[in-house]
Amino acid sequence: MALLNFKSTMKAIYNYCRNVINAFISLINGMRVTGYYISHPKQILTQQYPNNRATLYIPERFKGRVILPHDENNEHKCTGCSICQMSCPNGSITILTVTEELPDGKKKKRLDRWEYNHGMCTLCNLCIESCPSDAIKMENHFEFAVYDRKNLIYDLNKPGSKLKEKSE
Amino acid sequence: MVNNSEQFHLVDITTGIHEWLYANLSSGLALTAELLLVAVSMITLVVVTAIIMVYMERKVAAFMQIRLGPNRVGFWGTLQAVADVLKLMMKEIVTPKAADRFLFALAPFLVTAVSFMALAPISFAPGIQLWDVNIGVLYISAVTSIGVIGVLMAGWSSNNKYSLLGAMRSGAQIVSYELSAGLSVLAIVVMVGSLSVNDIVVSQANGWWIFKGHIPAIIAFVIFIIASTAELNRAPFDLAEAESELTAGFHTEYSGMKFAMFFLSEYTNMFVACMLGATLFLGGWQPFYIGGLDGFNHVMDFIPGIIWFFGKTFSLVFLIMWFRWTFPRLRIDQLLKLEWKYLLPISIVNVLIAAFITLAGWHF
């Protein structure tokens, strides 16, 4: 019995000392991280915005506003399926389509206007995720201040643009 | 310490002023003039160091969090602290309607007065000491713990539940951590054999206590830094302020200059704690010597004592700031557990070991 007590006491003392040493090791690890940052000022992420406007770096994943990229032939990938309009939680997307008759007699829907109300958009990224043809994306830009909110309604498709033909 | 005549000594200037005053004025008038000079220089010292420390804190915090910190007012934001003081001076001082008006007005002055009182026995440079009292260290630890009354007063008189909670926590915290802070100071006092600040500094002429006191001195230093951080109510022990849960703790209801006085006393207390740490463990104004390297030691001699002292103090201030911007906050039960289960038993054993080493004469 006495031996057992001695054993458990020694174990308690061992655990106590281990706690203290582990605590110090973890504290020193934390201090090493902050010490690294304070001794390496090049790590600083802050950008002095109005001063460095020319050399501003905006991360890839920054969510600015929705754009419809056009290639050099003025072609985009939007088929006018309006899934983005349905997935938009606050109705800031309106897809206007026209139905055209093709030479072989088939009828086909074509995108007429991709109307985007930036003033109502919460930049939630749902339209981009739901787009089946990857036609739209978020722009890497943030300066959108205007004097009238009517100016925040954009037509994303450029005049005269058409659907890009699939390569196959 | 080698006393060269070409070395700069601050005490030469103060003796010059002292002799000039006594030669030109009657002794009573000269004493009054000296007291005024000392008061003005102490207030200047405290205000200037507080401004430097506020700027330093913001910059250290920013760089540790990969930010830039204040950089618009003045060169690299150096005038930011001055601008903040100006703003605080011009703000209205609001007193809550149901507050205890007398205590509410008294609390910030009491807290500030206490932090000024602790400066008295500090030895800044060879011969520069306001009051060479033979119980200097005891006086400092006694006076700094009066500050909690001002904090409790502020919390109680504000008639605000957050303030009262913050003040109560501050009381529990300071009362608990005073013990291990006192015991860690005691380890050095045992080795020196004197409570006088001057004796403690002089005893370190052949090596700082942190080097020649072996393991007990190092343990005492670590415990002293932890306990004084807790006594200063600074993060990771900022339960009295607790921005996230008690808005601002005991000074929630204070504004303008009264808030500034709490702020000033907070930084003064930090400065006093770091000065005490530098005096006890890092040799006060004693230069850094390496045995055998005479050329190096001679160069070290030319750096004035006051620069050594403030250099050591500010490196401790930096260490405490480093803690604040690295460590996570403690909960109130973790805080008390840390003190009563870990720091206090370790420091009691540490004092015993220190006494044994002193009796055996194992320290240098």
Domain containing residue A126: CATH number: 3.30.70.3270
Q: How far apart are CA B210 and CA B97, in angstroms?
A: 52
- How many C-alpha atoms does B173 have within 13 Å on its Cβ side? 32
CB-closest option in A33, A35, A44 to B68:
A44
Q: Do A31 and A71 fall into the same domain?
A: no
Q: Do B73 and B148 fall into the same domain?
A: no
**The two structure tokens encoding residue B45:** 């010292």
What ranges make up the beta strands (E) of A35-159? 66-67, 75-76, 93-101, 107-117, 137-138, 153-155
Task: Please classify residue A124 by burial: count the beta carbons closer than 10 Å to its beta carbon, then call 0-12 exposed, 13-18 middle and 19+ buried.
Answer: middle
Q: Do B295 and B205 fall into the same domain?
A: yes
Residue A48, in any domain of the structure: no
Supply the pLDDT for residue B123: 84
For residue A30, the chain B residues in CB contact (below 8 A) are 326-327
Cβ of A46 and B68 within 8 Å? yes
Q: Do B143 and B283 fall into the same domain?
A: yes
Supply the pLDDT for residue A167: 60
Cβ of B65 and A37 within 8 Å? yes
pLDDT band of residue B1 (cuts 50, 70, 90) is: very low
Q: Do B144 and B203 fall into the same domain?
A: yes
Q: Do A24 and A82 fall into the same domain?
A: no
Q: What angle (nearest 5°) sits at the alpha carbon of residue B122, between those of residues B359 and B59? A: 110
pLDDT tens figures, B170-216: 888 888 888 888 899 888 888 888 888 888 888 888 778 887 877 88
Supply the pLDDT for residue B2: 42
Q: How far apart are CA B324 and CA B322, in angstroms?
A: 5
Distance from CA of A62 to the nearest CA of B (A): 19
Cβ of B66 and A44 within 8 Å? yes
Task: Please classify residue B140 by burial: count the beta carbons closer than 10 Å to its beta carbon, then call 0-12 exposed, 13-18 middle and 19+ buried.
Answer: buried
For residue B275, the enclosing domain spans 102-360
pLDDT tens figures, B220-236: 999 999 988 888 888 78
Residue B115, in any domain of the structure: yes
Residue B2, in any domain of the structure: no
Residue A25, in any domain of the structure: yes
Q: What is the dihedral of CA A118, A121, A122, A126, to 10 degrees?
A: -120
Task: Please classify residue B166 by burial: count the beta carbons closer than 10 Å to its beta carbon, then call 0-12 exposed, 13-18 middle and 19+ buried.
Answer: buried
Number of compact structural domains in chain B: 2
Q: Could you tell me if the ipTM is greater than 0.85?
A: no
Residue B10, in any domain of the structure: no
DSSP three-state, residue B55? helix
**The two structure tokens encoding residue B298:** 């001679």
Q: Do B186 and B44 fall into the same domain?
A: no
Strand A93-101 relative to strand A162-163, pairing: unpaired
Number of compact structural domains in chain A: 2
Q: How far apart are CA B362 and CA B364, in angstroms?
A: 6
Distance from CA of A23 to the nearest CA of B (A): 11
For residue A12, the enclosing domain spans 2-43
> Is A43 in the B-facing interface, judged by CB distances under 8 Å?
yes
pLDDT band of residue B7 (cuts 50, 70, 90) is: low
Percent of chain B exceeding pLDDT 90 equals 5
Strand B123-125 relative to strand A107-117, pairing: unpaired
For residue B325, the chain A residues in CB contact (below 8 A) are 34
Phi, psi of B115 (to 5 degrees): -70, -25
Q: Do B54 and B185 fall into the same domain?
A: no
Residue A168, in any domain of the structure: no
**H/E run at residue B227:** helix B214-231
Cβ of B60 and A38 within 8 Å? yes
Domain boundary among B90, B114, B132: B90
Residue B123, in any domain of the structure: yes
Residue B14, in any domain of the structure: no
Question: Do the Cβ atoms of A78 and A136 come closer than 8 Å?
Answer: yes
Residue A49, in any domain of the structure: no
Q: Do B135 and B247 fall into the same domain?
A: yes
Q: How far apart are CA B320 and CA B323, in angstroms?
A: 5
Question: Do the Cβ atoms of B237 and B317 come closer than 8 Å?
Answer: no
pLDDT band of residue A147 (cuts 50, 70, 90) is: very high
Question: Do the Cβ atoms of A97 and A146 come closer than 8 Å?
Answer: no
Q: Do A63 and A145 fall into the same domain?
A: yes
Q: Do A77 and A152 fall into the same domain?
A: yes
Distance from CA of B67 to the nearest CA of A (A): 5
Q: Do B129 and B248 fall into the same domain?
A: yes
Supply the pLDDT for residue B155: 86
Which residue type, as a one-letter code, is found at position B243?
A: E
Q: Do A66 and A102 fall into the same domain?
A: yes
Q: What angle (nearest 5°) sits at the alpha carbon of residue B213, between those of residues B211 and B215? A: 90
Q: Do A36 and A108 fall into the same domain?
A: no
pLDDT tens figures, B322-362: 988 888 888 888 888 888 888 898 899 999 998 888 888 77
Q: How far apart are CA B285 and CA B212, in angstroms?
A: 17
- Which residue did the predictor score with more confidence, A52 or B241? A52
Q: Do A90 and A151 fall into the same domain?
A: yes
Strand A93-101 relative to strand A107-117, pairing: antiparallel
For residue A49, the chain B residues in CB contact (below 8 A) are none
Distance from CA of A141 to the nearest CA of B (A): 22
Question: Do the Cβ atoms of B294 and B2 come closer than 8 Å?
Answer: no
Q: Do B170 and B258 fall into the same domain?
A: yes
Supply the pLDDT for residue A2: 62
Q: How far apart are CA B72 and CA B79, in angstroms?
A: 9
Residue B19, in any domain of the structure: no
